[in-house]
Each structure stands twice: as C-alpha cells, then as structure tokens.
Amino acid sequence: MPVADYETYCKMLDRALEKKFAYPAINVTSLTTANAVLKGLAESRSDGIIQVSTGGGAFASGSSVKDMALGAISIAEHVHRAAERYGIYVALHTDHCQADKLDTFVLPLVEETEKRRAAGMPNLFNSHMFDGSALPLEENLDIAVPLLERCHKNEIILEIEVGVVGGEEDGVTAEGTPAEKLYSTPEDLLEAASRMNEVKDARYLVAATFGNVHGVYKPGHVKLKPSILKDGQEALVQAYGKEGQFYFVFHGGSGSSLDEIREALDYGVVKMNIDTDTQYVFTRPIADHMLKNYDGVVKVDGEVGDKKKYDPRVYLKIAEEAMAERIKRAVEDLRGMGTTLFDA
C-alpha cells in the first residue's frame, strides 16, 4: 500500500505537525517526473506527496486532447502501480484548481474515486486543492464547505487557500492583487476554521499566505513573514484549543532561505509545494546534454547523428536523476530524512 490510504495519510500529517517537519509536494507532468519523485523520496527514506495541476493534467493527456482530468487520472494510475516497488508512502494530490475549473478537474476526479470506492478499489487521489483565493473569503468558503462535505464522505482531504499567493504558476497570476491580500490575518483564519469545522471530523489543509510568491526568485527577493502563521495558530488555539491548530501548506517557496522555511515548519507547515525548482533541475541537464552532443542529436551536413545521443531515454534518464537529487535536498531542508512511516 505505498499509495497511502486515508488513515495512513492522516497519520503522516499528524506526525509532521507533531515533529515539526513537512512533506515535499512535487508537481509532476509525466511518468518520468513522477518516477523522479518516487526515486528521490525512497532514497531519502521519506514519505511525500505527488501532485498534478490543471496544466500538468492537460499536458499529460496529450497536446491533441488537453483533458486535465484524463491526464491526472493517467498519472495517478501509474503511481498506484509503480509506488508498490518503493518502500515509502506517497499521497496523490491535485494542485491549484480555481472555481471555474472545478467542474472539469476536481469534480470528475472525485467522481472517479466514488466509482472506484463503489467497486471496492482504493481512492484514486488522496486530496484535492480548491483555490478560491481570487474570490472574497465568504464566497471562497461557500464553495469550500460543501466540497469538503463531499470529500469527507469519500475519505479525501481538501486543501483550501486563505489569502493570495503572489507571482504566477501554471498560468494563474496574482498580478494586481492588493498587498494586504498577500498576508492572511488571524481573523481570516478564524473565519475559515469556523466555516470548515461545520463539517464534523473532516480533515483539511490550509494554504495561508505570508508573503510567499510562485515562481523563481533570487535569495532575499521574497520577503516572507512566517510570524503570520505563528499569530494565526495562536488565535486558533485560543479559540479551539490545541486541536484547533491548522495544518498549513507552504506555496511559493522558491527563493526562500532555509531559516525562513524551517521557521514556517515550527508554526505548523506540514506540506511544502515544489514546482519551479524541480522544473529547472529537470531541464538543465537536458540542455547540457544537447549542447555537449550537438553533432550527435542533430543531423548536421548530411550526417546521421548518434542514436545513443538523441534517444530520449538517454537524456530523460539524466533529467530524472537530477530531479530526484533536488527532491532529496528538499526532504533534508524540510527535516524529513528518514521519517517514513513505512517501516514503523
């Protein structure tokens, strides 16, 4: 059961909150990138999260089809099979689905899981994200609460976003967002807790915003305020007791310092999304291979090239290995080395 079931996923999150570490949640777009995640996690002896965005799903379905749900299903089915060969647990998650894409992405995937459960099969995905950050908080939660009810019935964890993560990811941009929306307030988090807790015993994650931005930035460019998470947790504990703490998600971590990342872990971050960095480390060795082997990958002046150089398996293997190494570094940064529940 290396794809975690609901009980195991909950244990993973509970343990991370208690021990103050976080799981890397890596966006994937193909079987190769999914395999890189499994490799990096297994070599780190860490559990983790494989996630698919709307754009990633559309890409995975093929340029002629562009069906985001179909592509996500294809990747998830591969992970269910391949993960059995690795001695760690992974959870499957979908990333950043805005309100206008729920009907074509998250809801078809929930329906797929409902069909699987009716047939006695495990859930396809363990969790989904509804990104209602572009909406006023009340409208955001008006959509999130009934979605959480449906997810809870099917042992699916829901992730929501309170506030707006800056920058751009997967074609979704926060350009023009008022500065105050980039920082979640204790009042915002208390309102989210009040509404989401209407669904008794449901599990959910909260992507609060504390100055984090999507994209790639030089160290020092991103001005994080992890203390916002601390203030929010204190307000939640005061209102609901220790069990009222949020399980926070850290979006937009590229360019953040290690000290900032670990401070966020101390305040309840249990999941950190990683996409931009792994995109780069996957592509960089491919570019290196092409530049160093130009005469082999291109048929120059009537020559035939070198099949051992232009065979995609050659450079994709190098890319997979590079991405796996970056994931190992992420696990270490997030204090996750050797934390897998698989051996427990």
Compute, in degrees rounded to 10, the torsion defined by CA atoms 263, 325, 74, 172: 50
Burial classification of residue 5, based on how many CB atoms lie within 10 Å of its CB (0-12 exposed, 13-18 middle, 19 or more buried):
middle
Backbone angles phi, psi at 158, to 5 degrees: -110, 135
Backbone angles phi, psi at 236, to 5 degrees: -65, -40
Angle subtended at Cα 25 by Cα 171 and Cα 12, rounded to the nearest 5 degrees:
150
Question: Which parts of 237-338 are beta strand (E)?
Answer: 248-250, 269-274
Query: Catalytic residue numbers?
Result: 95
Beta strand 172-173 with 166-169 is antiparallel
Backbone angles phi, psi at 241, to 5 degrees: 85, 180
